[in-house]
């Protein structure tokens, strides 16, 4: 989190991580198309080819709350295993992570490897994934060999973070995932006393005004696996 008192700006950095081709860039594009131009700039893509992201995508969002400008910078990192140094660079100063997993059973292993890489990258920069706001998105629910809902429901129940379903290529579950992360991040700031100090509101009020302004839904239940949605910590 960054706070510029003079400019009255609060900046939060969200990073979309996950294995190659899971749909991170697609998530950003959907949000871009869904959010009114007033509140977003265009997507900035640094280095990409037909085979995916090579450096990063960035979608800057901004919303005014009272006299404070809240900036939400959404990044994607490249999923390719080799580009771990790039990921570490982009992850610096991150406030929240969306882990985009690929639902296809064939990708179960690369999901896990990518997550381990994420944990390691965070650890290398002195961060701990256990204290970092995190939501998991199982994308490509439309894939023929997608893992069954029942399996993911059970896992979501036991894990400690919200798990959401998505078909990013059709725009489904994308807003919900973003809002779920925003929710976790705002609650975390609230616990640390930051929200009261900067925005003078509680996390629920902040969430509703930001999502309202961006034109995104606040009801996530439909997109959550397991008992999710309402039990973020």
Ligand X SMILES: Nc1nc2c(ncn2[C@@H]2O[C@H](COP(=O)(O)OP(=O)(O)OP(=O)(O)O)[C@@H](O)[C@H]2O)c(=O)[nH]1
* Residue ranges binding ligand X (CB under 6 A): 18, 20-26, 52-53, 76, 78-80, 139-140, 142-143, 167-169
Closest CA to 132 of 233, 31, 223, 27: 233
d(CA 98, CA 109): 18
Nearer to other proteins, 147 or 210 (CB): 147
Task: Give the distance, in angstroms, between the CA of residue 224 and the centroid of all CA atoms in the same chain.
Answer: 14
Min. distance of Cβ 182 from other proteins in angstroms? Answer: 17
Contact 52, 59 (CB under 8 A): no
Contact 75, 15 (CB under 8 A): yes
Min. distance of Cβ 168 from other proteins in angstroms? Answer: 10
137 touching Mg ion, by CB under 5 A = no
Q: Footprint of Mg ion on residues 47-86 (CB under 5 A)?
A: 52-53
Nearer to ligand X, 151 or 202 (CB): 151
The terminus-to-terminus CA distance of the chain in angstroms comes to: 18
Q: Which does 139 bind (CB under 5 to 8 A by kind): ligand X, Mg ion, other proteins, none?
A: ligand X
Nearer to Mg ion, 47 or 157 (CB): 47
Member of 14, 17, 19, 25 binding Mg ion (CB under 5 A): 25
**Which residues here bind other proteins, judged by CB under 8 A?**
1-4, 7, 9, 11, 13, 29-30, 32-33, 41-48, 55-56, 58, 60, 71, 73, 93, 99, 101, 108-109, 111-112, 114-116, 118-119, 129-131, 134, 136, 138, 151-152, 154-161, 163, 191-194, 225, 227, 231
**DSSP states of 173-217:** THHHHHHHHHHHHHHHHHHTTHHHHHTSS-HHHHHHHHHHHHT--
Q: Which does 125 bind (CB under 5 to 8 A by kind): Mg ion, other proteins, ligand X, none?
A: none
Nearer to other proteins, 92 or 212 (CB): 92
Nearer to other proteins, 129 or 143 (CB): 129
Q: Which does 96 bind (CB under 5 to 8 A by kind): ligand X, other proteins, Mg ion, none?
A: none
Contact 182, 207 (CB under 8 A): yes
Question: Which residue is associated with the tokens 């807003």?
Answer: 175
Question: Which residue is associated with the tokens 């609060």?
Answer: 10
Contact 216, 34 (CB under 8 A): yes
């Amino acid at each position: 989190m960054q706070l510029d008192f003079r400019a009255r700006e609060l900046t939060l950095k969200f990073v979309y991580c996950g294995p190659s081709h899971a749909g991170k860039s697609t998530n950003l594009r959907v949000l871009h198309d869904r959010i009114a131009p007033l509140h977003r700039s265009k997507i900035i893509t640094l280095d990409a080819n037909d085979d995916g992201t090579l450096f990063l995508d960035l979608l800057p969002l901004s919303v005014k709350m009272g006299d404070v400008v809240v900036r939400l910078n959404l990044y994607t990192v490249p999923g390719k295993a080799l580009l771990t140094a790039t990921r570490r660079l982009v992850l610096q100063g991150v406030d929240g992570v969306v882990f985009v997993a690929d639902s296809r059973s064939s990708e179960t292993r690369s999901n896990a490897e990518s997550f381990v890489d994420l944990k390691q990258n965070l650890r290398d920069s002195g961060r701990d994934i256990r204290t970092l706001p995190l939501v998991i998105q199982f994308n490509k629910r439309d894939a023929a060999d997608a893992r069954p809902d029942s399996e993911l429901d059970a896992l979501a129940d036991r894990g400690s973070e919200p798990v959401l379903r998505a078909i990013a290529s059709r725009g489904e579950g994308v807003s919900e995932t973003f809002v779920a992360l925003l929710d976790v991040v705002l609650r975390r700031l609230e616990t640390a006393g930051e929200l009261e100090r900067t925005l003078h509101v509680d996390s629920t009020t902040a969430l509703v005004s930001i999502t309202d302004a961006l034109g995104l839904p606040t009801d996530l239940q439909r997109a959550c696996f397991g008992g999710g949605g309402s039990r973020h910590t």
